[in-house]
Structure 1
Amino acid sequence: MSFHSMWAELLPIGRSSATGGYRRYAWTGADADCRAWFREQAATRGLTYEVDRNGNQWAWLGDPTAGNAVVTGSHLDSVPDGGAFDGPLGVVSSFAALDELRDRGAEFTRPLAVVNFGDEEGARFGLACVGSRLTAGALTPEQARTLTDADGVTLPQAMEAAGHDPDAIGADPERLARIGAFVELHVEQGRALDLTGDPVGVASAIWPHGRWRFDFRGEANHAGTTRLADRRDPMLPYAETVLAARKEAQLSGAVATFGKISVEPNGVNAVPSVVRGWLDSRAPGQHTLDAVVGGIEKAAREFADHHGVDLDVVRESFTPVVEFDHALRDELVRILGTDTDLTVPVLGTGAGHDAGILASRIPTAMLFVRNPTGVSHSPAESAAEDDCVAGVRALADVLEGLACR
C-alpha cells in the first residue's frame, strides 16, 4: 500500500466538518478508529501486532523479544482542531518506509517495529506524552490515575471504557531494554527547513519547556454599578501579564504564550473573581527559560499588587533540555549524506515529542520534513507531497542503515 493511499484512508478520521481541524483525543471514538487503522496496517503487512501495558501500539517485523531492535513511529492523536500532519505523518511514513525497504529487497539483521504512542498531545487529560512517559517511568501510575478530562472522567475510566486494562499501566523497562534505537519522523514545527531550502533535516535537541498556571484572585462585583476605583479586577493584571510575557520572550530569543484562560464567574456583566491563565514557555537553554519565566512572574506580581489582586503561580509540567543521542544523530547524518544529493541540516526544536521522553532511556533521534508555512497545531499545517516522499525515502535509508547491516 502506497504512502498516498494510506494517507487518504487516515485523513477523514476525526476531522471536524466545521473547522477542518482534527479532534483525535485519547481513548475516544476517533482515537479508536485511528488505532483500528494502525492494526489493519500491521495485519496487511504480516507484522506481529501488540498493545503494551500503557496502550501503545506496536507492529513488529522479526522477533519482538530478540533485542537491539530498531523502532520508528510517532502518534495519531491531535490537539483540539489540529492539523493532519503532526504525528500521523510519522506513523504513515514508517509503514511506507518499511514497504520501500521490502521493495528494495533489504535483508534485516535486527528486529524492526512501527509504534503509535498513545495520548502524545495531552489534549484530553492535560499532560503531553502520557503513553511514552508511562513506559519510560517518567509518569507514575499513581500520577496517571489523578488525570481527568474536562468532564471529570479519569484516565483509568477512559482507558477501561475503551477496552484497555488501566490496572496494568506503568514503567516498562523490559520493553525499552529490547530497543537499540528509536527514530521518529515528524513534520517540522517551524520554518527552518523552508528557509534553507532542504526537504529533510535531523534534530539536534529539544528546547527546555514547561507549563505554568497563573491564578489571579480578585473580587466579583457588578459590572454596571461598581466604580472603577473600587474594583479588584483580576482581568487587568492578567492582561498586562500577557503583554509582559511577549516582551520577556522577545528580548531573550525565547517563546512565551498564554494560550488558555479560565474566568469565574464568567459573566458578561460581572467583574471576575478569578482569572486563570496557562503559560507555555520554551527557550534554547535552561538559563534563558528560567530568566524569562522569572521575569514574567515578577511582572505579574507587580501588576497584581497594583490592582489589589492576589496571585498564585503553579508549575504544572516541565521538561529539561533533551539532547538526542549524538552517535545516533551523527549516524543519521552520515547515512543520509552518503551517495545522495540530500543535504542534511541539523536543527533544534521548541516542540516536545515522544522521542524526547524516551531519550533518557534509549538512543533516540528525529527526522524533520519541511513545513512551507511553519504553521503547526492548526488546520493550516502542511507539507508538500514531494517533501513527504523525500521524508519516506530518508527514513527508509536510515532504517536500512541501522537495521539491515
Structure 2
Amino acid sequence: MWGELESIGRHAGSGGYRRFAWTGADTDCRAWFRAQAEARGLTLELDRNGNQWAWLGDPAAGDAVVTGSHLDSVPDGGAFDGPLGVVSSFAALDELRGRNARFTKPLAIVNFGDEEGARFGLACVGSRLTAGELTVEQAHRLTDADGITLPQAMEAAGHDPDAIGADPERLGRIGAFVELHVEQGRALDLTGDRVGVASAIWPHGRWRFDFRGEANHAGTTRLMDRRDPMLSYAETVLAARREAQLAGAVATFGKISVEPNGVNAIPSLVRGWLDSRAADQATLDTVVHGIEKAAREYADAHGIHLDVVRESFTPVVEFEHALRDEIARLLGKEDGGKSAHLNVPVLGTGAGHDAGILSGSIPTAMLFVRNPTGVSHSPAEYAAEDDCVAGVTALADVLEGLACK
C-alpha cells in the first residue's frame, strides 16, 4: 500500500507531498482508497461532504466501530501524517481476517477530506461539516490563494457543493471512532514506547494579523518617512516566540503574504498568520493576548494600522475517558491480543485531528505511533517499519475488542 501511495502528489524538487483538497493529487488518493476498499469487498460510500467510507457490515445497524484518518497533506508535508492511519486501518482489517475474527458490529474505514486545510485555510473541513461545526454558508465563503471558492473546487472535482452540511444521521450510527496517527513530537521516543494513547488535544487556533502601511520607493524614501508594515510584523514574530516561551506554550507565524511584494518597494500590506496552542484555555488566551498587545504597540510606533481576525479555533478536547481506558485495557491485557503486556503511555498532543472535531458528537480516541525524530509536516517525517507494524497490531487488537465482542 505504501508503494502505491508513494508517488501521488510528491513534489520532485522538495521530496514532500502536495496533496491538497479537490486537486488532481487528492483525486488520485481517493481512487487509491476506492481500490483498497473494493479489493477487500467493502462497500464504498461518498458522503455529502466528500468523505469516503469503506464499510464491512450494514451501516444502518448502528453502533458501528470506525477507524481511519486522512490522505491530504500540508504544503511539502511528509508521507506519514494522515496516510499512516488510513493504511494501518486497512492492514488492521487484514490482520483481523487472518485471525478469523467474528465481527458483531459494523466496521468502517474513513478518509476524511481536507483535514490539513492547506488549500482553503481551515483545518478539518470534512469532519467539521459532518459534525455541524462549520456551516454551509461559512464553507461556501472559503477561498484558496487563487480566488477559487470551495464550491467551485468541489464542483470541478465532480462533487455537488450544494449537498454539503451537517450529517447527524451518519454520526448517529457510530458507536466509537479510533484514529491512528504518527506522533507529531518525541514523547514516545523519549520513553522508548512504540505506541501510545491520546489523552487530550490542546486548544489551538489561527489568527490573521493585517499590518497596513504605505507603499513607497525602497531607494528614495528616507527611513524616517516610511510607514513600513514589515517592521511591525517582524517585531510581532519575535514577540510571539517570547510570549509562548514565557507561558510554556507554542506560537508560530508560518505563513505570510506581502503587497505589492516587490524587492524595491516598501510594502503597503503585510499579512501574517499566527498558529498558537497551549495545554489549557487560560494559557492560550494569555499568549494570544500578549502577542496582539505587543503587535498593536509596534504598529502604533510605526504609524501602521493593524487588524487581527481569528479565523479558526478549537477548544481543548478531552477524549472520552471510558473509551480511552478500554483501549488501554485491551492493549495491556494478559489474555488476548498480540499487543499483550504492551506499555501504553497516555499523552497529550498539540496537533489537531478529525478525532478531536468528532469528539463532541461521538466517542473518539487516538493511538500514536512512535516518531523517532519528532519531525512532522516535513519531508523528513518518519516512522520505523517495526513501529508501524506495532501500530497495526495494536489497532487490530483495539478493533477486535470493540467490534468483535
For Structure 1 versus Structure 2, the TM-score category normalised by the shorter chain is over 0.9
CA distance in 1, matches of 2:241, 2:122: 24
Question: Partner residue of 2:148?
Answer: 153
Q: Which runs of 5+ in 2 are unaligned?
A: 335-339
Matched letter for residue 92 of structure 1: V
Question: Partner residue of 1:131?
Answer: 126
| 2:105 match: secondary structure | coil
CA distance in 1, matches of 2:184, 2:381: 9
Establish whether residue 368 from structure 1 lines up as the match of residue 382 from structure 2. Answer: no
CA distance in 1, matches of 2:182, 2:332: 20
Listed one character per residue, the Cα deviations across residues 184-234 of structure 1 (whole Å, up to 9, x for unaligned) are 000000000000000000000000000111111111111111111111111
Question: Partner residue of 1:82?
Answer: 77
Question: Partner residue of 1:387?
Answer: 387
Which aligned pairs between 1:302-381 and structure 2 lie closer than 5 A?
Answer: 302-339=297-334, 340-381=340-381
Q: Which runs of 5+ in 1 are unaligned?
A: 1-5
| 2:75 match: secondary structure | coil
Matched letter for residue 357 of structure 1: I
Aligned-pair CA distance for 1:267: 1.1
Establish whether residue 296 from structure 1 lines up as the match of residue 291 from structure 2. Answer: yes
CA distance in 2, matches of 1:218, 1:57: 46
CA distance in 2, matches of 1:218, 1:147: 26
Establish whether residue 221 from structure 1 lines up as the match of residue 235 from structure 2. Answer: no
Question: Partner residue of 2:404?
Answer: 404
Which aligned pairs between 1:140-289 and structure 2 lie closer than 5 A?
Answer: 140-289=135-284
Question: Partner residue of 1:3?
Answer: none
CA distance in 2, matches of 1:399, 1:98: 9
Aligned-pair CA distance for 1:341: 2.9
Which aligned pairs between 1:108-123 and structure 2 lie closer than 5 A?
Answer: 108-123=103-118
Percent identity of the aligned residues?
A: 86
Listed one character per residue, the Cα deviations across residues 162-199 of structure 1 (whole Å, up to 9, x for unaligned) are 11111110000000000000000000000000000000
C-alpha RMSD of the superposition: 0.7
Matched letter for residue 363 of structure 2: P
| 1:65 match: secondary structure | helix
CA distance in 2, matches of 1:237, 1:151: 27
Listed one character per residue, the Cα deviations across residues 61-89 of structure 1 (whole Å, up to 9, x for unaligned) are 11011000000000000011100000000
CA distance in 1, matches of 2:387, 2:144: 36
Listed one character per residue, the Cα deviations across residues 120-178 of structure 1 (whole Å, up to 9, x for unaligned) are 01111111101100100001111111111111111111111111111110000000000
CA distance in 1, matches of 2:135, 2:79: 31
CA distance in 2, matches of 1:303, 1:56: 44
Listed one character per residue, the Cα deviations across residues 345-398 of structure 1 (whole Å, up to 9, x for unaligned) are 000000100000000000000000000010110000000000000000000000
Question: Partner residue of 1:20?
Answer: 15
| 1:70 match: secondary structure | strand
Aligned-pair CA distance for 1:8: 1.1
Query: Which stretch shifts more, 65-74 or 218-227?
Result: 218-227
Matched letter for residue 362 of structure 2: I
CA distance in 2, matches of 1:279, 1:37: 34
TM, length-normalised to structure 2? 0.98
Establish whether residue 60 from structure 1 lines up as the match of residue 55 from structure 2. Answer: yes
Query: Which stretch shifts more, 240-249 or 332-341?
Result: 332-341
CA distance in 2, matches of 1:263, 1:109: 57
TM, length-normalised to structure 1? 0.98
CA distance in 2, matches of 1:269, 1:379: 33
| 2:375 match: secondary structure | coil
CA distance in 2, matches of 1:231, 1:166: 46
Matched letter for residue 59 of structure 2: P
CA distance in 2, matches of 1:53, 1:178: 16
Question: Partner residue of 1:95?
Answer: 90
Aligned-pair CA distance for 1:309: 1.2
| 2:257 match: secondary structure | strand
